[in-house]
Amino acid sequence: MIDFGQLAVPGIRGLRAYDPGHDLVALRRAHPAALVELGSNENSYGASPRAQQAAAVALERLHVYPDPLGGDLKRALARHHGVGVENIVLGNGSHELLMQFAQVFAGPDDAVVASQFGFAVYALAAQAAGATLALAPAHPAEHAMPRGHDLDALLAAISSRTKLMYLANPNNPTGTWFGGEAFTAFLAAVPAQVLVVVDEAYAEYVDAADYASALPLLAAHPNLIVTRTFSKAYGLAGARVGYALAHPDCIAVMERVRESFNVNALALAAAEAALGDAVHLQAAVDGNRQQREALAAALRAWGLAVAPSQTNFLLVEFGLETARVEAELIRRGIVVRPVAGYGLADCLRITVGTAEENARLLVALGTILA
Ligand SMILES: *Cc1c(COP(=O)(O)O)cnc(C)c1O
């Protein structure tokens, strides 16, 4: 027999696959038409009808390779963000790009810095690249941004071996964020050769006054990389499109490892159309904000600790009841996300649903917690 685990390169040997949560296909079968899916931070308002239409048109040319350059989408993104196409690399979801940054820039002798309770993909990316992961402690649970990124701790985790840092703003699974002024000061203190990836997967949802996207800092900081996705506020999780914005030289190196047709034709068309549908985006963002505030208020009224969130999910503390609550919710056909894998065995991450979905969740929780 071949021991494939041992045959793998060192970084892969100790690696465990990304945990996507419950087997949703099996659960959908068990709860036909009634499953409430609040486990994956998908958009409760669906994709733009214009994106669906564009994908349907692209379907007529399914036998043709997609544009390997993704030119139309890149030009639309360049206009949207006020950057050049040479500042953009497209990914099969931003997950792909997050993995590739470590693959490209961090090797066995290097360190990658991320935060405790940061998005799980950062640790996977570092480990797969064979690099050492240096985890900075997060803010404590009592902080105004419970378990959120501590920028000072992240700075302190930088060593002479650090090549790359991953920050999420806002962060998943905590929902917390850091302010624009704090980040500007942080970036000024990071050594110029250390690459800083700021994952802004939820940026479109944000309206906190102190928040600022890192995008305007790109021009002055060649070591800054910002990732975005069409999976969340744009509602295209099934299409798999994300992108990174960075210095053209950084993008050029990333292009060397990008598989030439990594974003498929349906996804390219859908993303471009979704980007052009500001009305649909705004409706999803507004609906989410309203429902998030209502859901958080209802949960807090029961005495539950709910972390502040600028995303489409809430991190909720259930303490010793967490596992039981989760199991009881599943039994009732309501999927939320256990986050024990993040070291948060006392919390559940709950995607903000539609008013109807949240009502079903609250009715079930009321019974379970009674
Ligand atoms: C959902 C999410 C992503 C996006 O993943 P895609 O591969 O673009 O679907 C990236 N980062 C964070 C923090 C996320 O929550």
Segment 77-82 shows an average pLDDT of 98
Q: Strand ranges (DSSP E) for the chain?
A: 36-37, 88-91, 111-115, 132-136, 162-168, 195-199, 224-229, 242-246, 305-306, 313-317, 334-335, 337-338, 347-351
Nearest CA to ligand 1 atom 12: 201
Structure tokens at 69: 């350059």
Output the domain CATH number for residue 60: 3.40.640.10
pLDDT at 33: 81
Least confident of 29-43, 92-106, 178-192, 255-269: 29-43
**In this structure, are 93 and 141 located in the same domain?**
yes
The domain tally of the chain equals 2
pLDDT at 70: 98
Output the domain CATH number for residue 324: 3.90.1150.10
Segment 51-64 shows an average pLDDT of 97
Q: Which of 276, 306, 339 is the C-terminal boundary of a domain?
A: 276
- Give the residue, out of 232, 311, 312, 315, with the most ligand 1 atoms within 8 A of its beta carbon, to mutate for a pocket test: 232
Nearest CA to ligand 1 atom 11: 201
Look over the chain and give the mean of its residue pLDDT values, rounded to a whole number.
97
Tens digits of residue pLDDT in 231-240: 999 999 999 9
Nearest CA to ligand 1 atom 15: 172
- pTM comes to 0.97
Atom in ligand 1 nearest the alpha carbon of residue 96:
7
* pLDDT class of 14 with cuts at 50, 70, 90: confident
pLDDT at 138: 98
Q: Which of 260, 276, 292 is the C-terminal boundary of a domain?
A: 276
Q: Is the pLDDT of residue 282 over 90?
A: yes
Atom in ligand 1 nearest the alpha carbon of residue 237:
9
Q: Is the pLDDT of residue 222 over 90?
A: yes
Q: From CA 252, how far away is CA 268, in angstroms rounded?
A: 20
**In this structure, are 185 and 55 located in the same domain?**
yes
Q: Is the pLDDT of residue 199 over 90?
A: yes
Tens digits of residue pLDDT in 323-341: 999 999 999 999 999 999 9
pLDDT at 17: 82
Q: Is 18 helix (H, G, I), strand (E, B) or coil?
A: coil
* pLDDT class of 54 with cuts at 50, 70, 90: very high
- Full domain range(s) for residue 103: 49-276
**In this structure, are 74 and 200 located in the same domain?**
yes
Segment 313-326 shows an average pLDDT of 98
Q: Which of 252, 276, 300 is the C-terminal boundary of a domain?
A: 276
**In this structure, are 301 and 270 located in the same domain?**
no
